[in-house]
């Protein structure tokens, strides 16, 4: 470990530590304290990189886009998908900012040609319902998975090409019936919407039939 004369880690190690914690928190926000933790950790990384004013501008832009309410990004999702509560979906909004500024580490990127149909033809792609298994079979493993891997919980997958293009996020709802009194077979989560872009928040969503019904 590199250290200064007093035995303290150097700035590069401090940055690496906070970036690593940010990536863990983005992937499993429920385990790390949720949305507040994401904001505080991004505060720290932005300060280390000398981008605190840029981050504050990004944060302010969330409100202008109506992607942030008095209840945070959670509140913005509640207005668009009432009853849908997914910490991973919230994390994906912050992850899009982190991706732009080099703070998000992805598991893989996709060739532009592979992602273009999903990004540019989302209306056609969302014309039919798709399960998580079907999406993974068509697109392969995501660049980042946000939220629990348990099929009983909602989750969000993100696919990326380059930083300039932003993340394409797919929001899934669980089909598990928590009120059932009889044993039930596990079924994969179902896609509600594809989200991409930095325009007004509500306009960045394209809904599947199930997503439209869910609203």
The model's pLDDT over 14-60, given as tens digits with 9 standing for 90+, comes to 999 999 999 999 999 988 888 999 999 999 999 999 999 999 999 99
Binned at pLDDT 50, 70 and 90, residue 179 comes out as: low
Rounded Cα distance between 171 and 158, Å, is 9
pLDDT at residue number 185:
58
Question: Three-state DSSP class for 170?
Answer: strand
Q: What is the DSSP letter of 69?
A: B
**Residue 126 within any structural domain of the chain:** yes
In this structure, the dihedral spanned by the alpha carbons of residues 87, 88, 90 and 96, taken in order and rounded to 10 degrees, is 160
pTM for this predicted structure: 0.90
Rounded Cα distance between 208 and 194, Å, is 8
Count the Cβ atoms, other than its own, within 10 Å of residue 70: 6
- Those residues whose C-beta lies under 8 Å from the C-beta of residue 187, and which sit 6 or more positions away, are 131, 151, 175, 176
What whole-number percentage of the chain has pLDDT above 90? 64
Strands 168-173 and 190-195: antiparallel
Instruction: Give all strands (DSSP E) within the chain, no chain letters.
Output: 144-146, 155-159, 168-173, 190-195, 205-207
The domain tally of the chain equals 1
Domain range enclosing 101: 11-214
Place of tokens 């950790």: 41
Report, as an integer, the average pLDDT of 192-199.
93
Rounded Cα distance between 182 and 122, Å, is 37
**Residue 1 within any structural domain of the chain:** no
Question: In this predicted model, what pLDDT tens digit does every residue of 56-88 receive, in sequence order?
Answer: 999 999 999 999 999 999 999 999 998 888 899
- Across the chain, mean pLDDT equals 88
Residue 181 has pLDDT above 90, yes or no: no
- The highest-confidence range among 71-85, 87-101, 102-116, by mean pLDDT, is 87-101
Distances (CA, A) of 213 to 129, 141, 209: 11, 27, 6
Residue 102 has pLDDT above 90, yes or no: yes
**Residue 3 within any structural domain of the chain:** no
Rounded Cα distance between 84 and 97, Å, is 22
**Residue 148 within any structural domain of the chain:** yes
**Residue 90 within any structural domain of the chain:** yes
């Amino acid at each position: 470990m590199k250290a200064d004369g007093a035995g303290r880690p150097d700035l590069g190690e401090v940055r690496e530590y906070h970036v690593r914690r940010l990536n863990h928190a983005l992937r499993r926000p429920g385990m790390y304290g949720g949305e507040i933790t994401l904001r505080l950790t991004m505060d720290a990384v932005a300060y280390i990189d000398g981008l605190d004013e840029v981050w504050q501008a990004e944060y302010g832009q969330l409100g202008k886009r109506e992607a942030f309410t008095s209840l945070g990004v959670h509140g913005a999702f509640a207005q668009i998908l009432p009853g849908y509560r997914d910490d991973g979906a919230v994390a994906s909004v912050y992850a899009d900012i982190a991706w732009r500024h080099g703070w998000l580490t992805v598991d893989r990127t996709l060739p532009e040609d592979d992602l273009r149909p999903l990004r540019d033809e989302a209306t056609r792609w969302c014309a039919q319902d798709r399960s998580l298994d079907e999406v993974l079979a068509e697109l392969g493993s995501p660049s980042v998975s946000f939220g629990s891997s348990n099929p009983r919980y909602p989750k969000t997958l993100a696919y990326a090409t380059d930083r300039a293009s932003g993340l394409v996020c797919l929001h899934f709802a669980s089909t598990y019936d928590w009120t059932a009194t009889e044993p039930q077979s596990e079924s994969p989560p179902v896609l509600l919407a594809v989200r991409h872009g930095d325009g007004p928040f509500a306009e960045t969503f394209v809904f599947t039939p199930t997503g439209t019904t869910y609203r």
